[in-house]
A and B are shown apart, each in its own frame.
Chain A
Amino acid sequence: MDQVAAFLPYFFEGTWVTLQIFVLGLILALLVAFAAGLGRMSSIHAIRWPCAVFIEVFRGTSAIVQLFWFFYALPLFLDIRLTPLMAGVLVLGLNQGSYAAEIVRGAVQSVPLTQWEAATALNMPKRTTLRRVILPQALVAMLPPFGNVAVDLMKNTSLVALVTVLDLTYRAQLIRATTGETTIIFGLLVVVYLILTNGISLLRRMLERRMPAGLAYAPGRE
């Protein structure tokens, strides 16, 4: 126990690394989600197709396969050398972004077509309609599933331990190997992740309560 106590500061530094990967990954995932999700609905073939292929490929393989590919295979292929942290953020962002892209698409399509028609009748350009009429309504529908994506992203950050990023999981492994106090350190690891994922759920609920305020029209309220 004393042995583990000596390593605790080192362990908790990992929380910072994990949070960093989570936040950067989430930002990337959101950007990817809107780009690919809206792109997949484009009327232009050259935009729609690549977006659809991207989404299907990244949803069709798991984050760990993509992580190993970006970490081991990509440098040999394109002569790009990513740091383990960069590879982790990139893969988690693209992977969760591909799931979130389908959420964006579903939410935009859930806004009644009459909203588009009404905006057209008011002579509003398509781009403005999307930005001022459709997205504000779709955003409310996106929030709950985005919360799930964020929780999944947090859990997937543990995978970066397998490409030697010193996150919580990897540090726990190192401490286990050094001290042999397996039960204590892994028990602690489980508790820290529970706190992190529950924190995200809490944050999501707070956001959900605030979001629809001031919105005259919310999906499902016709």
Chain B
Amino acid sequence: MYWDWSFAWDSLPALLEGLWITVQLTLGGSVLALVIGLVLAMLRRTNVEPVRWLIGAIIEVLRGTPFLVQLFFVFYVLPKYGIQLPVLATGIIVLGLNYSAYTAECYRAGIEGVPQGQWEAARALNLSTGRIWRAVILPQAIPRVIPALGNYVNQMFKDSAIVGAIGLFELLNTAKQIGGLTYRFLEPLTMAAVLFLAISYLASIGVRRLERRMHSAETAGADVNPPHLALGKPA
């Protein structure tokens, strides 16, 4: 079998439509993962023992089981209890939940990197806990973990292809469908792979550049945080 350029060209529009679904999955999943991960990371620092234990257990289950299994679980089990979700929404929710376990660890590293003195100083100023998180801790914790979060978004983009397993026609499943209809799998699957590769490669270059910029900003003595938020350097 040889490579047929005209067939490859003809299947491109359908593949791009699939890519658009993949992008939606990635963006939706990212927003969820970035928000839920932050909530998990903050809740993990609470003094209430049962909450901390529960959060730990949730993260453990999310990290210890395959994404595909989580996807099947939500897709097949929830309708049994009367919760019907569109396939795209199911994919976004499971992607977001799965990755929130990883982003939570990321945020945790960032939060633990903020010196203890910042907490003490904020308390001494009588700031409320909510205010301390919002105005003191998070503005220092989040910027330094942005490159790592970017890597997870990139990883999510690649993993979103698994959502095709529950019948969503994202990029990979579209390619497979074209192959199934025409019995020419080579062109569509190869093009899907090349699209994935190109986008994730560019994204990884972007993340690396971001990393370098933040690193050089730190070593140059400049603070990566906006000046009005730099409440003093760690000793």
Contacts and interface: CB of A to CB of B under 8 A. Distances in A.
Interface string B162-185: 101100000010011001000011
Interface string A36-74: 000000000000000000001100111011101100110
Interface stretch (A23-31, A113-121, A190-198): A190-198
Interface stretch (A137-145, A151-159, A209-217): A151-159
Given A182-B77, A186-B77, A190-B69, A64 B162 contact: yes
Interface stretch (B6-14, B45-53, B129-137, B186-194): B186-194
A122 interface: no
A193 B66 contact: yes
A200 to B, nearest CB: 10
Interface stretch (B27-35, B195-203, B208-216, B220-228): B195-203
Given A64-B161, A66-B193, A194 B68 contact: no
Interface in B59-82: 60-61, 63-70, 72-73, 76-77, 80
A65 B196 contact: yes
Given A60-B197, A69-B190, A193 B158 contact: no
Contact of B80 (A158, A162, A182): A182
A198 B63 CA distance: 10
B111 to A, nearest CB: 22
B68 A182 contact: no
A1 interface: no
B185 A183 contact: no
B196 A61 contact: yes
Of A62, A69, A159, most B-chain CB atoms within 10 Å: A62
Given A61-B200, A65-B196, A155 B67 contact: yes
A204 interface: no
Of the candidates A66, A155, A173, the one having the most CB atoms from chain B within 10 angstroms of its own CB is A155
Contacts of B192: 65
B83 interface: no
A173 B72 contact: yes
Given A182-B77, A186-B73, A156 B196 contact: no
B17 interface: no
Give the residue among A57, A173, A190 with the most B Cβ atoms within 10 A. Answer: A190
Interface in A157-174: 157-159, 161-162, 169, 172-173
B68 A169 contact: yes
A6 interface: no
B80 A155 contact: no
Contacts of B63: 197
B218 interface: no
Contacts of A189: 69, 73
A68 B176 contact: yes
Contact of A155 (B66, B77, B196): B66
B67 A62 contact: no
A62 B197 contact: no
Contacts of A77: 1, 186
Nearest to A75: B185
Given A60-B200, A65-B161, A73-B186, A169 B69 contact: yes
B186 A61 contact: no
A157 B164 CA distance: 17
Given A156-B66, A197-B65, A76 B77 contact: no
A182 B80 CA distance: 8
Closest 7 CB pairs of A and B: A158-B66, A62-B158, A72-B185, A155-B66, A60-B197, A197-B64, A73-B189
11 contacts: A65-B161, A69-B189, A158-B69, A162-B165, A169-B69, A186-B69, A186-B76, A189-B69, A193-B69, A197-B63, A197-B64
